[in-house]
Amino acid sequence: MAAKFGTEEWATALKQEINDSSEYRNAANKWGVDFNGNLLFVFEADEGTPIDRSLMLRLSGGSCHEAEFVETTSHPDAGFVLRGPAHLWREILERKTMAATAILTGKLHVEGERMQLLKHTAANRALIHCTASVDTGWD
Amino acid sequence: MDRLFRPLEEKLSGVVLTPDQFTSDDQTNFGRVYHWTPRFVVRPKTHEDVVETVRFAREQGLFVSTRGAAHSQSQLGISRGGILLDMKSMDRVLALDEKADTVDVEAGVVWRDLVHHLKKHRLVPRVLTNNLGVTVGGTVSMAGIGVASFKYGSQGDNVVEMDVVTGAGESVTCGPDGPEADLFWSVVAGLGQVAIATRLRLRLRRFKSLTRTYYLLYDNINQFMADSEKIMNDSRWDHIESWSSPCPQGIKPVDGRRQPFAKWFFPYHLTVEYEDGSPPDDAALLDGLTPYDNLYTDDIPTIDFFERMIPVFELWKKAGTWDFIHPWMECVLPWDTAAAYIDQFLVDLSPGILIGGHILLWPAKGPTSRSRLFMRPEGENLVGFGILPAIPPGYWDQVRPMLDNASRLCIEMGAKRYLSGYIDFTPEEWKTHYGDKWDWFAGCKHRWDPDGLLNPGFVPLPSAPGAARKG
């Protein structure tokens, strides 16, 4: 059964998806090991989404330690923030837009050490794949 | 009959072709991404033919595009409704000056023919491209990189004089220094934007009769680069050449789809020239290098070394992949991000992409080149990296986003693209590519090609106000 996007149930499903993924475990085994690999995805309000939402992922060494929606659009524990309009995120999660393309063309705004993120594109591609694999129900 | 056919033909000693005479090769280039039909193909015989063609085009409001062997993969070497100057018809080797170690050639001379012409004199151009089936004018207009570039720079750096026809139809002789240096350096690696080279004087070097090549193998990019620094920093080696080579390991998920993956190795072919009876000291040459393995040592005549890639290209032709789409993505990376980029790219690359292609690596020295328009990152040591696939047409839409992102990622990591390949820049990305050279390049375009006549459709250099073309 689909988990509704933005809920604790969805975040839990994502954590499970990441930790069950051999692709992510292998691709991300160096992610967050000697730097802060926690990611904050900020889904900015737009026409279809009335309020900002953010997803905090605590990641290191190929594992997800915690996934939760938070009410702020910044977070002191985040090593990186990926910020973009909600409709773009939905396109990414529905695999209509490649996350790498969105980042490299500037449609997704990156806060944090951009070069570090670019040096781990395989890890982040695997993460996005996990995110897109969650059976999602939209508003 | 096209009303302009007779008036154009009457001005030229060369040949003018109309669409009913075109072959498919006249309408695309090696990339096979773009298919354009010119109004005329002109095969000039002389410098004057090129002058007359450009002047005629100006009078009639036609664009002029140029091609050598048409090895480019984007919107170069093809024409949409204009005149396509097929320079291969200007293929004479002119004066050889053995005292100065230079040779004059027409722009359409194929490098392989020049190598054979010069071999009896034991002379060779200082830099040769891997593919010798391309023309002197073509590669100089791109830069021209080869296995001796780490010592001698690009082929364009080894031109000492050129006759050119500007976009205004003027004949100018120019060199790397002196009053026409701006024109010279806007033709070298200038993608045919300001003028058409018709005669080039090339610097030569004497070669020894034999080569010995050491086939080293590296199992990680960092060790490969550490040894590359040593290799480039001493004068032991005459030629250096390298690749990425896959050892398939099985199937793994990439973006959720299971596909073959590989452990990537880095073959490194290091070559010295020597004379018969004076073989190189293997131990001294390899001292200090730490390859994963030393696989093979090959002794062949130097002339065969220059042609070493011909059997590979023949194989690709026989296998049919030569006719596939070639969206090659080549770039020059800064030393400090090269390993990370190459690792990231290769980790999930399916080895199957290399059918009919390969992945090139070429460690390079930035300061060996004076070229203003062969854009490269700052720094002494650089790494060239090229993904050279042959894509069946049915897979192009699937592969294209991957190559687009590979291009964007390398640029974000400080690289500059090498422009003979598949380029799909936005106007802003073009400006970023040329950086502080953009205004200079645009100024050269205005000065020598004021109507924006030459090679349109690729670099979006601003044309002069009011310039309007029919082709």
| Co-location of B410 and B263 in the same domain | yes
3-state secondary structure B192-259: CCCEEEEEEEEEEEECCCEEEEEEEEECCHHHHHHHHHHHHHCCCCCEEEEEEEEEEEEEEEECCEEE
Closest Cβ–Cβ partner in B344, B405, B413 for A98: B405
C-alpha A48/C-alpha A33 separation (Å) is 37
Residues of chain A numbered 5-24 and touching chain B (CB < 8 Å): 21-23
Q: Under a CB-based contact definition with an 8 Å cutoff, are residues B382 and B330 in contact?
A: no
> How far is residue B81 CA from its own chain's centroid?
25
> Within a domain: residue B148?
no
* Nearest C-alpha neighbor of A5 from the set A77, A53, A62: A53
CA A50 to chain B, closest CA, distance in angstroms equals 31
CA distances, B17 to each of B63, B65, B68, B436, B450 (Å): 16, 14, 16, 41, 27
User: In this structure, are residues B188 and B200 in contact, taking their beta carbons and an 8 Å threshold?
Assistant: no
Give the separation between CA B226 and CA A70, rounded to whole angstroms: 45
In a domain, B102, yes or no: no
Q: Which of A93, A116, A126, A138 is nearest to A19 (CA)?
A: A126
3-state secondary structure of B421: coil
Does residue B449 sit within a domain? no
Provide the b/e sequence for B250-286 (b: ≥16 CB within 10 Å): eeebbbeeeebbbebbbbbbbbbbbeeeeebeeeebb
User: Are the C-beta atoms of residues B154 and B369 closer than 8 Å to each other?
Assistant: yes
Q: Which residues of A touch B397 (CB under 8 A)?
A: none
> What token pair was written down for B185?
């350096």
Helices and strands (H and E) in chain B: how many: 14, 18
Both B79 and B215 in one domain: the answer is: no
pLDDT of residue B471: 45
Contacts of B413 in chain A (CB under 8 A): 115, 118-119
Check pLDDT > 50 for residue B76.
Answer: yes
Say which DSSP state B2 is in: -
| Local confidence band at B464 (pLDDT 50, 70, 90 cut-offs) | low
Distance between CA atoms of residues B145 and B139, nearest Å? 8
Pairing type for strands B64-67 and B83-86 reads: parallel
**CA–CA separation, B227 vs B414, rounded Å?**
22
CATH number for the domain formed by residue range(s) A3-137: 3.30.1050.10
Question: Smallest CA–CA separation between B391 and chain A, in Å?
Answer: 21
Residue B39, CA distances (Å) to B20, B87, B468 in order = 10, 16, 17
Placement of tokens 């004021």 in the chain: B450
* CB–CB contact A101 B413 (8 Å): no
| pLDDT per position as a tens digit, B255-270 | 888 999 999 999 999 9
| Cα distance between residue B106 and residue B188, in whole Å | 15
Q: Where are the beta strands (DSSP E) in B31-82?
A: 40-43, 64-67
**CB of B200 closer than 8 Å to CB of B90:** no
Name the closest residue on chain B to residue A129, using Cα atoms: B255
Q: Where are the domains of chain A?
A: 3-137
Give mean pLDDT, residues B323-328.
Answer: 95
Judging contacts by C-beta atoms under 8 Å, the chain A residues touching residue B337 are 115, 119
Per-residue pLDDT, B445: 97
pLDDT surpassing 80 at residue B467: no
> Could you give phi then psi for residue A51, rounded to 5 degrees?
-130, 155
Helix/strand/coil for B6: helix
**With contact defined as beta carbons under 8 Å apart, do B253 and A22 qualify?**
yes
Distance from CA of B417 to the nearest CA of A (A): 16
Of B56, B86, B116, which residue constitutes the final position of a domain? Answer: B86
- Tell me which DSSP letter residue B87 carries: G
Residue of A nearest to B343 (CA): A119
- Determine whether the interchain pair B405/A104 forms a contact, defined as Cβ–Cβ distance below 8 Å: yes
Provide the pairing of β-strand B195-206 with B102-106. antiparallel
> Nearest-CA distance from B23 to chain A in Å?
38
Q: What's the pLDDT at B466?
A: 45
Q: Report the alpha-carbon distance of residue B266 to residue B361 in Å, rounded.
A: 9
Is the Cβ pair A101, B404 closer than 8 Å? yes
Residue where a domain stops, chosen among B401, B417, B433 = B417
* Mean pLDDT split into 10-residue runs, chain A, 139 residues: 92 97 96 97 89 95 97 95 95 91 93 94 94 89
As a whole number of Å, the CA-based R_g of chain A is 14
Compute CA distances A26 → A66, A122, A132, B308, B347, whole Å.
19, 10, 18, 39, 11
Contacts of A29 in chain B (CB under 8 A): none
Size of interface A-B (CB pairs under 8 A): 50
Q: Which residues from chain A sit within 8 angstroms of residue B348, using beta carbons? A: 27, 122, 125
Burial B309-328 (b: 16+ CB within 10 A, else e): eeeeeeebeeeebbbbbbbb
Number of domains in chain B: 2
- Span B112-138, mean pLDDT? 97
Write b or e for each residue in A110-130: b if 16 or more Cβ atoms lie within 10 A of its Cβ, otherwise e. Answer: bebeeebbbbbbbbbbbbbbb
Mean model confidence pLDDT for chain B: 95
Q: Which of residues 256-295 of B touch A (CB under 8 A)?
A: 256
CATH of the domain at B382: 3.40.462.10
Is there a domain that residue B103 lies in?
Answer: no
CATH no. for residue B47?
3.30.43.10
Domain boundary among B86, B113, B138: B86
What tens digit of pLDDT does each residue of B170-208 get? 999 999 999 999 999 999 999 999 999 999 999 999 999
Amino acid at B66: T
Residue B134 lies in a domain: no
Any A CB within 8 A of B250 CB: no
Please determine, for residue B465, whether its predicted confidence score (pLDDT) is greater than 70.
Answer: no
| B185 inside domain | no
A110 in reach of chain B (CB within 8 A): no
Sign of CA dihedral A62, A66, A72, A74: negative
Tens digits of residue pLDDT in B352-409: 888 888 999 999 999 999 999 999 999 999 999 999 999 999 999 989 999 999 999 9
Q: What is the distance in angstroms between the CA of the first residue and the CA of the last residue of chain A?
A: 15
Domain extent for B357: 210-417
Helix, strand, or coil here: A137?
strand
Question: Over 70: is that where the pLDDT of B119 sits?
Answer: yes
Least Cα distance to B184 among B43, B350, B321, B371 occurs for: B371
- Complete DSSP assignment for B340-398: HHHHHHHHT--GGGGTT-EEEEEEEEGGG---SSS---SSSEEEEEEEE--B-GGGHHH
The model carries a pTM of 0.94
Q: Is the ipTM of this complex over 0.85?
A: yes
Q: Is the pLDDT of residue B248 over 50?
A: yes
Beta-carbon neighbour count of residue B339 at 10 Å?
19
Residue B115 belongs to some domain of the structure: no
Extended strands (E) in B112-158: 123-125
Domain for residue B325, yes or no?
yes
Is 50 exceeded by the pLDDT of residue B468?
A: no
- Inform me whether the C-beta atom of residue B48 falls under 8 Å from chain A C-beta atoms: no
